[in-house]
Structure 1
Amino acid sequence: MDDDLIPVTIITGFLGSGKTTLLRRILQGKHGLRIAVIENEFAAESIDNALLVQDSDEQIVEMNNGCICCSVRGDLIRILGELQAKRAAGTLVFDHVIIETTGLAAPGPVAQTFFAEPSVSAFYMLDAILTVIDARHAQQQLTEHREAQEQVGFADRILLSKTDLVSKEELAVLRQRLLAINCRASMQKVSFGNVPLRDILNIRGFNLNAIVELEPDFLGQLGHRHGDGVQSFVYHQPQPLDLEKVENFLDAIVQLFGTQLMRYKGILYIEDTPCRAVFQGVHMLMGSELGAPWRDGETRASKMVFIGRGLPQDTLIRGLDRCVVGYQPPPPAVTYNADTVP
């Protein structure tokens, strides 16, 4: 049961965006939570715990061996295991875990840990990825650094900092660029880490089913958009789908293009099924489950969001169209020449 799992929030964002300021704000907030923090600094020297914790019960666990990525994911698994062991033994009490990644890393490998490692997924649930964007320097960072684009692409919430340093016109242009990269993440301003905690903690942002139950129109207004190296698009299908065909097709897509697919989520309208089906994945790791029942009179349709690099959009659209119940391929085109026309 998800309710038995420890929620985990990942805070990411490029260097200087305001991640530590946001983390300090969370730790000082009146939320009633005891939070364990996994700190990941690229520099040899970590931040001073006193910067973060002031008269609180939070636990700081630091990883000082560079970015959390494939080379050190074992350390993350180990630390999460140690935290859980201490929690089970009663020597450490916490309700929530926050992982702050270095500004030079993409959060994908961290997110994958909560899908791929049974010893982690048995006790922890990825609640959301929060990406802090420095409005003053974001345009340059997005242009010059692949990691900055991927941090936006993986986000469940985008928090815009330093917006007072740019004009309204510059901010509007930046919003459009961010929306082109990730058309599913909500955006809001954050000033010196001040953001309503209800908007960033225990939001089940990584659980699409929970989002749709709270916000039925979450996917409804998204369109086809592209931008930067990371792009996103939404597939809509009003007709019922054949679940077996969908699963076989997506399995093949993940095998072929999994490294390009950063995040993908969707609500599926399956034939003869009273509940919506929910699927989501990170790179080559994909899962699905039955979600909330369709309400009486509710318009049923499938809506899928894909975010990644070099997305095979035409292949995805054609393949998913072929998963429609009763799909009949169009007849082959017939060509005529002057000699054969009566």
Structure 2
Amino acid sequence: MSGSQSPATSEPTTSESTTSGKIPVTVLTGYLGAGKTTLLNRILTENHGKRYAVIVNEFGEIGIDNDLVVGADEEVFEMNNGCVCCTVRGDLIRIMDGLVKRRGKFDAIIVETTGLADPAPVAQTFFVDQDVGEAARLDAVVTVADAKWLSERLKDAPEAKNQVAFADVILLNKADLVSEADLARVEGEIRAINPYAKLHRTTNCDVPIDAVLGRNAFDLGRILDLEPDFLEEGHHHHHDDDMQSFSARIDGPVDPEKFMPWISNLTTIQGPDILRCKGIVSFPDEPHRFVFQGVHMILDGDLQAEWKAGEDRSSRVVFIGRKLDAEAIKAGFLDCAA
């Protein structure tokens, strides 16, 4: 983790690091009534043999209904500051610090945000706070979407669109309540915002637990092993009026002396409009792949798995955001070619 306290100095490092030993954290988000609590209960009652600490962010002064979150062995913590923003980030850091001191008593952490929340500040917490970043890693952002009402929410609720854009995994829930044609249309709307998330159609959030937990969704090397065309230009053909998603590729390595300042400068200047960025790049004479991800102005990156013998060592990046000059960003990336 970068562990930087200021976005202006959030340039990723190239030091060798590993996620082993860090507590995996899943951020569970989705608009009001989509089914987040149903998914949480399913996770906590499945016979998986794991223990989870649960952090719940309730909107308003009334905390979580403990009758809804089940599992006597689970740890439940509440953040009552309402919308997840900088105030709640401080709350989250405080709770995380307490959990880190009790590590070993649980296997992973689940953070359930309020339905009115933008997930960005929660995700950023794992990059900007050094202690949290050293102890925990963001495993995935999982968004539950209501198949019946998502189209309406995408029109009138910016938070709903952000929740889709930030997701690594999306559950299109209540799929039994709409027709096949409507499901296909809603999936098209989701793909127009975020072509890169793993999408599941669900009823009552009935999905295998390993589809939402233990995803290691930020290990792009793992994703590329599963879906080799994940970052391919032209693989996705949807677009959204105000939300953009695009990728770029260099058939070979990038010059770190060019790439690092470029990506750092880009996210510093255009960070408010960049919801998510991620990529896997090759450096000359470096046996390990450099993997980075960003949330707005916060960047995190390090060297991960080694390139395999004979593997295509191309460099690929993905951006999701608003009001971005896609062609200029692609050109800037191409200028980083070694």
Shared fold (TM-score, shorter chain, > 0.5): yes
Which SS does the other structure have where 1:9 is aligned?
A: strand
CA separation of 1:228/1:151 partners in 2, compared to 1, >3 Å: closer, same or farther? farther
| Correspondence for 1:335 | none
> Which residue of 114, 117, 120 maps to 2:132?
120
CA–CA separation in structure 1 for the residues paired with 2:50 and 2:92:
22
* Partner of residue 188, structure 1: 200
Letter in 2 for 1:63: M
Indicate the residue corresponding to 2:20 in structure 1. 3
From the CA coordinates, give the structure whose radius of gyration is larger.
1
Is the contact made by 1:149 and 1:229 (CA closer than 8 Å) also made in structure 2? no
Residues of 1 paired with 2:321 and 2:336: CA distance?
A: 22
What amino acid is aligned across from residue 324 of structure 2 in structure 1?
L
Match of 2:110 in 1: 98
Indicate the residue corresponding to 1:231 in structure 2: 244
Q: Deviations over 1:288-341 (max 9, x none)?
A: 22232332332231211101111221211111121123xxxxxxxxxxxxxxxx
Per-residue CA shift, 1:149-199, capped at 9, x if unaligned?
100011000001111111111111111111111111010012112110011
Query: Is the CA contact 1:269–1:300 (under 8 Å) kept in the aligned structure 2?
Result: yes
Shift in Å, 1:106: 0.8
Aligned equivalents of 2:59 and 2:301: distance in 1? 35
Greater RCO, CA 8 A, separation 6+? 2
Match of 1:57 in 2: 73
Asked if 1:177 corresponds to 2:194, the answer is no
TM-score (norm 2): 0.89
Alpha carbons of structure 1 residues 224 and 258: separation in structure 2 relative to 1, 3 Å: farther
Q: CA deviation at 1:285?
A: 1.4
Q: Which runs of 5+ in 2 are unaligned?
A: 1-17
In structure 2, C-alpha distance between the alignment counterparts of 1:32 and 1:153, rounded to whole Å: 32
Q: 2: distance between equivalents of 1:69 and 1:103? A: 13
Name the structure 1 match of 2:13: none
2:73 is equivalent to residue 73 of structure 1:
no
Q: Per-residue deviation at 1:214?
A: 4.9
Change (3 A) 1:300 1:318: same
Instruction: State the alpha-carbon separation in 2 of the partners of residues 270 and 47 from structure 1.
Output: 48
Structure 1: 5+ residue stretches without partners: 326-342
Alignment of 1:17-36 (within 5 A): 17-36=34-53
- Indicate the residue corresponding to 1:218 in structure 2: 230
SS in 2 for 1:258: helix
Q: What is aligned with 2:221? A: 209
| Structure-1 separation of matches of 2:313 and 2:21 | 31
Code of the aligned partner of 1:39: V
Deviation of 1:213 (Å): 4.6
Do 1:182 and 1:232's aligned partners in 2 also have CA atoms closer than 8 Å? yes
What is the CA–CA distance in structure 2 between the aligned matches of 1:324 and 1:250, rounded to whole Å? Answer: 13
The percent of aligned pairs where both chains have the same amino acid is 47
Q: Which AA in structure 1 matches 2:230?
A: F
Contact 1:279 1:286 in 2 (8 A): yes
